[in-house]
Structure formats: C-alpha cells, structure tokens
C-alpha cells in the first residue's frame, strides 16, 4: 500500500448506515458519503454494530478479529460488504442481537446497557486506529454522534497500550446536539476508562460520563451539518450545555451542509411515484397530487394548496405549532397530508385533527419510505417548522421534487432555502419560504404567504423550478469533507514530524 493511498483511508464510525439500519438523517449521511468521497481518492470503511438488520443484509463476511470479551461477552469483528458499502461489523449478539429500534426497547425505553453497547462501537474503532488489524490502518477516524464519540477518548487514554502506533486523526461530526449519551460516573471502570478521565478536561459531564462531550473534547476537528448550526451550538440558547466547550474549541469547529442521495430521490425516475417528471413538465405532478389526496382521504377539489409533512413527531420538529396553526391552514382553504411517528401526544393530536376535519386533513402515523416519496412528489409545499434543525433532509428532497419548502429560519433550513422575499422574487432566486421566530404566529404567517404565492401560479412555478435546479447532492459536501480530512491529516503529520 502506497503512502498516498493510505493517507486517504477513513474509518467512518456510526450506529446507523442506510440502507442497513436507519432511524433518521444520520443514516442517510453515513450511507451516502462513502460513494461521494471515492472520486476524491478517499477510501471509506464504515464500522457499524451488528444489529440483526445489518447481519442479515451482509453479502460477504470474513472474520478479521475475535474479542474473547467485549463488554460482557465474546465478539467477532467482521470485514464485510453490503449495498455497495465496505464495512466492519461488530458481531456481538449480547450487545446488538435484538430486533427493532437500535436504541430503545419495545416500550420505548433506552436499552439498559446502551453505555456498553456504544462504548463497544467506540472502543473497537479506537483499537482499529491503534493498529488492531495489520492490513487496515486508517489515517482518519470519523466518529458520528454520541454513539461513536468515545472513540477519540479511547484513542487518547489507551494509547499507552500500543506505544508505537501513530494515532490517526479524528473528526467528530455532530448530527444533533440534543442526543449526548450521558451516563452515571459509576460506569467509568466498566467502560475501561481510567479514573483520571473523570475530569473536566476528560469525559466528565455534569458529574457523569458524557460520550458526546468526550468526543468534542478530544477530536482533532469538530464538524456539524450546517454552518448556521455550527454557530448556534456555540450559543447559550443552542448549545444544550456544551456551548462553553464548543466556544473554547471554536477554531476547530465547522459546518458542512448534508447532501441528498440523488439516486434515491429523483423525480425523473422514482418508482414510488405514479407519475415521474422534470422541471420542464411540472404539470405531471398533478397526477401525483391526486394519488396523494386519495391515499390520505383528502377530498377537496383540485384548486386548493396541499401542504405535506414527513417527519419525526417531536418537540424539535415544531409540529405542536402546526397543530395549533391548523385552523389557519384550513381557513386559507388549504389541505394537509402528514406522515410521521414519534411522541404519543403529537400522534394523538394529529389523529384527532384528522378526525375533526375529514376530507381536509389526512394523517398517517408510521414510518413509510414509499409514502414519503409520494408526499414529496405530490404536495404543493412541504412544512418544516423546526425549533432547531442541524441540517434537515426533507427540505432538500422537497426542493428536488418541486414541493416548495416552508421552513423556520434555523440551522440548516436557514442555509439551504432562499426565502421568497421581494428581493429574491424580483431576482428570480427564491427556493422556498422561511419564517422567524419559530412560533405559531410565525408559522401562520408563512402559511398565508405560501397560499397567496401558490394562487399566483407563475411566481410559484418559478420557485418550484429554482428549487429543482438547486444542487442538493453530495458533490459539494463530499469535497468539503475531503478537504477537512486532508487538512487534519496534514496537521497531524506536521505535529508528529
């Protein structure tokens, strides 16, 4: 292996990767980045837990290492391939051999041993970084979210065990600062962390062990998924307790907007749509709108704007504001098709709203990829009223599908949607509607603006077409990540030479 090729080996460490296991945008990112990075000479391997859904999809598997004991049982490290991804998979049934959601049990409670489950993911990453596999030594370990965030800490604290190994550079990406992996300090020894690590400049966080905190403390670079979110997380309001540390580390923090998998999201060639289309024959969306309305039991005649939602139902996504704004939406003559699942109160709230406005509000509670595509391909506008949004993917899909995004002006929504204000309309560059602050009134005004723009057909078409012409794929983000890797590797080489 030449030095140049080795320089570009990146081990991506994540608890989710599409299409093997997905609960949210994290999986979309880790699933799409490897292929997008390949043209930049970056060779990505992804280390994932061996959940049943992962193990059953492996197309090739070879055992490359056996751990007699990994947090309570034996484990095998597999080198594997699936869905075009090069993988390392931790086959540890005592940690991951459970069906269903990767994080919570059937009752929706966190698995009791999540600390051990994701410490294992991080520990194996660090061991690989320290030369566990003679034939595979990454130059960069790219840890995603709290589940992988102990990797930089293990690299630091366990370096003494392998004195000759050069430590790889580390990048910590925060996909959502709200999820931090906070566990009792009593687990320190169990997690194979030294007593000295329970300190403010170690893994200690509000008296316990903070996985994400540790990653942010020790990673060479910190990235998050949009420039605006990178700024927001360094403020008291947006920092969720970690803003102090992030401000101290400001020089290594950056934001890279996510891309969308354009092969999965392509209105010209989408098997989930009754009618495919391009930006020059948008009239063909009408058939999709009809199918969407039928699927959601919406019976209004053709001439009414149809708002769509595809979302987790959580406080973050601001959908309680939409519930409150529904009377306004209905009074504008608009309809709503909502697909989502999550908080029971919101699920019930939307079920009740649908029951109270039959033929106008359609609600499907659940997770349904095909239906998500139909909403993007058939609704007039897609609502994303998030209180905070690290990047957001649904507004990118909406733009690509000619569903005009109506979004709150936060995080990645701010960075990806150009508001249809007068100047942007006059310049012909608007791609959606933004509103601020994220309140019921703000959302109601945005709904009003959307309905009025929609009725002035030509301006609306222009916004749709602009959105569809906006590059939302992985080319640009991948170039940014490749640059980040180059810089951090060069810095490391400079520091150790």
Which residues would be at the binding site for ligand ADP (CB under 6 A)? 24-25, 28, 310-312, 339-341, 367-369, 372, 391-394
Q: Name the residue nearer to ligand ADP (CB basis): 203 or 363.
A: 363
Burial 273-311 (b: 16+ CB within 10 A, else e): bbbbbebeebeebeebbebbbebbebeeeeebbbbbbbb
172 vs 339, which CB is nearer to ligand ADP? 339
Smallest separation (angstroms) from ligand ADP to the CB of 43 = 26
Task: Name residues whose C-beta falls within 8 Å of residue 468's C-beta, 6 or more positions apart in sequence.
Answer: 267, 278, 279, 399, 400, 401, 402
- Least separation, in Å, of the C-beta of 319 and ligand ADP? 11
For the bound state, the minimum distance from the C-beta of residue 261 to ligand ADP, rounded and expressed in Å, comes to 9
Peptide bond before 440: cis, by omega within 30 degrees of 0? Answer: no
Q: Toward ligand ADP, which CB reaches closer, 34 or 392?
A: 392
Nearest residue (CB) to ligand ADP, 202 versus 392: 392
Structure token pair of residue 493: 């080489």
Name every residue whose Cβ is closer than 8 Å to that of residue 350 and which is 6 or more positions away in sequence.
Answer: 313, 319, 323, 338, 340, 361, 363, 365
To ligand ADP, the closest distance from the beta carbon of 314 in angstroms equals: 8
Q: Read off the DSSP letter of residue 459.
A: H
Nearer to ligand ADP, 25 or 49 (CB): 25
Least distance to ligand ADP from the beta carbon of 321, Å?
16
Nearer to ligand ADP, 149 or 372 (CB): 372
Judging by beta carbons within 10 Å of its beta carbon (0-12, 13-18, 19+), is residue 4 exposed, middle or buried? Answer: exposed
Q: Determine the 3-state secondary structure of 406 from DSSP.
A: strand
Cis status of the peptide bond prior to 437, with omega within 30 of 0: yes
User: Which residue's Cβ has the minimum distance to ligand ADP?
Assistant: 25
**Residue 89 token pair:** 């998979």
Q: How far is the CB of 312 from ligand ADP (least distance, A)?
A: 4
The minimum distance between CB 98 and ligand ADP, in angstroms, equals: 22
Buried b (16+ CB within 10 A) or exposed e, 167-193: bbbbbbbbbbbebbbbbeeeebeebeb
Query: Taking a C-beta distance cutoff of 8 angstroms, is the pair 89, 12 a contact?
Result: no
- Beta carbon of residue 451, minimum distance to ligand ADP (angstroms, whole number): 24
Q: What is the DSSP string of 189-241?
A: TTTT--GGGSSTTTTEETTEEEHHHHHHHH-SEEEES-HHHHHHTTSTTTSTT
Provide, rounded to whole angstroms, the least separation between the CB of residue 395 and ligand ADP.
7
112, two tokens: 């009791």
Of residues 406 and 489, the one with the C-beta less far from ligand ADP: 406
CB closer to ligand ADP out of 311 and 466: 311
Closer to ligand ADP by Cβ: residue 61 or 387: 387
């Amino acid at each position: 292996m030449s030095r140049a090729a080795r320089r570009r080996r990146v081990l991506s460490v994540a608890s989710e990767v599409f299409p093997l296991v997905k609960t949210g945008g994290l999986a979309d990112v880790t699933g799409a980045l490897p292929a997008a990075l390949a043209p930049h000479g970056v060779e990505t391997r992804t280390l994932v837990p061996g959940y049943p859904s992962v193990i059953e999809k492996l197309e090739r598997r070879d055992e490359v290492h056996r751990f007699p004991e990994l947090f309570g049982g034996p484990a095998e490290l597999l080198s594997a391939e699936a869905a075009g991804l090069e993988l390392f998979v931790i086959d540890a049934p005592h940690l991951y051999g459970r069906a269903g959601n990767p994080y919570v049990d059937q009752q929706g409670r966190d698995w009791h041993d999540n600390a051990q489950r994701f410490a294992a993911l991080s520990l194996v990453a660090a061991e690989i970084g320290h030369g566990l596999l003679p034939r595979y030594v990454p130059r960069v370990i790219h840890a995603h979210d709290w589940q992988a965030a102990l990797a930089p800490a293990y690299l630091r604290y366990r370096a003494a065990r392998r004195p000759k190994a050069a430590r790889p550079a580390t990048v910590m990406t925060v996909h959502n600062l709200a999820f931090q992996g906070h566990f009792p300090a009593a687990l320190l020894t169990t997690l194979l962390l030294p007593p000295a690590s329970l300190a403010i400049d170690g893994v200690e966080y509000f008296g316990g062990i903070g996985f994400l905190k540790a990653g942010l403390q020790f990673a060479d670079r910190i990235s998050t998924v949009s420039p605006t979110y990178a700024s927001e997380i360094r403020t008291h309001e947006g920092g969720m307790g970690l803003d102090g540390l992030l401000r101290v580390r400001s020089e290594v923090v950056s934001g890279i907007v996510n891309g969308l998998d354009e092969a999965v999201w392509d209105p010209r060639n989408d098997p989930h749509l009754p009618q495919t289309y391009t930006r020059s024959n948008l009239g063909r969306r009408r058939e999709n709108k009809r199918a969407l309305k039928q699927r959601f039991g919406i019976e209004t005649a053709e001439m009414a704007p149809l708002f769509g939602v595809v979302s987790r139902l959580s406080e973050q996504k601001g959908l309680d504001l939409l519930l409150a704004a529904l009377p306004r939406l209905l009074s504008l003559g608009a309809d709503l098709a909502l697909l989502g699942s999550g908080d029971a109160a919101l699920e019930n709230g939307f079920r009740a709203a649908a029951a109270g406005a039959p033929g106008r509000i359609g609600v499907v509670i659940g997770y349904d990829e095909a239906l998500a595509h139909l909403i993007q391909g058939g609704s007039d506008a897609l609502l994303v009223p998030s209180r905070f949004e690290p990047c957001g993917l649904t507004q990118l899909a909406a733009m690509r599908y000619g569903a005009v995004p109506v979004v709150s002006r936060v995080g990645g929504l701010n960075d990806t949607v150009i508001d249809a204000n007068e100047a942007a309309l006059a310049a012909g560059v608007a791609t959606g509607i933004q509103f601020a602050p994220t309140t019921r009134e703000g959302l109601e005004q945005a709904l009003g603006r959307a309905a009025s723009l929609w009725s002035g057909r030509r301006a609306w078409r222009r916004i749709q077409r602009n959105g569809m012409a906006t590059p939302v794929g992985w080319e640009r983000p991948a170039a940014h990540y490749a640059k980040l890797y180059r810089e951090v590797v060069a810095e490391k080489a400079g520091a150790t030479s």
